[in-house]
Amino acid sequence: MEHTLVNNHGNISGSIAIKLANGQTLDDFCAEHIENYNRDRFEAIAIRLFVGNETVITIYALDKLKQEVDKYDVSKIPVKKFKITTLKANSLFSYCSSINFTLATGNYSIEDMLVLNK
């Protein structure tokens, strides 16, 4: 398989899996930290964390009311974006019972790796 160097600036990226603690859900987190978060209208479906010169937690929540309106592209999911800037990252991690992630340079696919020291 041919590999292409795509990472020439020292960045790494990947995916993360989090198990929330105490049976909590992402909606529970939203209800606690987003003023006027309405569980009947919204369903949290994604979260993004930015930590740099500031901490920004972005929640993408399905807008159930907009989903029922015909004027939207049916191939897209209507979401409302909520930004939380009042929490630090360690506050977010207190909701987690476990965190598992893999980051890679992007030079090679993890699926193409053969681990030799099993």
The ranges of the chain with pLDDT < 70 are 1-9, 68-70
* Residue recorded with tokens 């989090």: 18
Q: Is residue 102 part of a domain?
A: yes
Q: Is residue 33 part of a domain?
A: yes
CA angle 61, 65, 67 (to 5 degrees): 75
- The mean predicted confidence, pLDDT, of the chain is 86
Q: In terms of C-beta density within 10 A (0-12 exposed, 13-18 middle, 19 or more buried), how is residue 31 classed? A: middle
User: In angstroms, what is the C-alpha Rg of the chain?
Assistant: 18
Q: Is residue 10 part of a domain?
A: no
Measured from the Cβ of residue 92, the count of other Cβ atoms closer than 10 Å reads 18
The Cα 104–Cα 118 span in angstroms is 20
Q: Which pLDDT tens digit goes with each residue over 29-49?
A: 999 999 999 999 999 999 999
Q: How many domains does the chain have?
A: 1
Residue 80 belongs to domain spanning: 16-112
